[in-house]
Structure 1
Amino acid sequence: MKTENLITVSDFCVYYNVEYTFIDYLQEAGLIQVTVVNQTDCIPLEEIQKLEKLARLHTQLEVNEPGIAVIDNLLQKMENLQQQVAMLRNRLKLYEG
């Protein structure tokens, strides 16, 4: 993986004012992926948007780590259901049209 596609965990923590342990918890819970490059924990750019959302839940709404895991799970289920509804609507249009 190219290093220009990574952001160090320490840089993210400073910028978003979150604890390093918060990132550790999210990684251990399987909510984000952290990559180690030259003994430095880094976050792939693909994970940044999700991590920003989780960090805002934690800092702005003061949701604790287990609560963030529950919210993330529910949001994923909701997104899956929305995709299924869209697919079923498209299939229904084929039969109606």
Structure 2
Amino acid sequence: MSNKNLIQIREFCLYHEIENTFITELHNYGLIKIIIQEEDEYLEPEQLPAVEKMIRLHYDLKINLEGIDAIAHLLNRIELLQQNLIASQNKLRLYEEKTEELN
């Protein structure tokens, strides 16, 4: 993977004025994935919205890492439930359309 698309953690932390250890702790909790290339640590661009949300939770709302872990788990669960609901609604719509065609 080319590091052209990756975000260097050191630069990211400087930009957001946070400690590098916070990103390391997020990784240790399994909340994000750190990519190591040529002795530098990087984040994938897809992770940025989630990481920035976790930064706000921790620094602005003073939520500890255990709380962030719980919140992230619940948000992922909600997203999965929403996807299941949409899939069920689509199936129901199909069923209703077929029933209407038969009548």
For this structure pair, what is the TM-score category when the shorter chain's length is used for normalisation?
over 0.9
1:17 deviates by 2.0
Structure 1: 5+ residue stretches without partners: none
Q: Indicate whether 1:29 and 2:29 are aligned.
A: yes
Deviations 1:36-84 (A, max 9, x none): 1111111111211211111111122111111100000000000000000
Alignment of 1:69 with 2:73, yes or no, is no
What is the letter of the counterpart of residue 73 of structure 1?
H
User: Residue 4 in 1 paired to residue 4 in 2?
Assistant: yes
Question: Which residues of structure 2 form unaligned runs of 5+?
Answer: 98-103
Q: Give the CA RMSD over aligned residues.
A: 1.0
| Count of aligned residue pairs for this structure pair | 97
CA distance in 1, matches of 2:65, 2:35: 21
> Highest relative contact order (Cα 8 Å, sep 6+), 1 or 2?
1
Q: TM-score, normalised by structure 2?
A: 0.88
Q: Give percent identity, aligned residues only.
A: 38
| Whole-angstrom distance in 1 between the partners of 2:17 and 2:66 | 19
Q: Which structure has the greater CA radius of gyration? A: 2
CA distance in 2, matches of 1:10, 1:78: 32
Kindly state the Cα deviation for residue 30 of structure 1 after the two structures are TM-superposed.
Answer: 1.1
Q: Does 1:40 align with 2:49?
A: no
Q: Tell me what 1:80 maps to.
A: 80
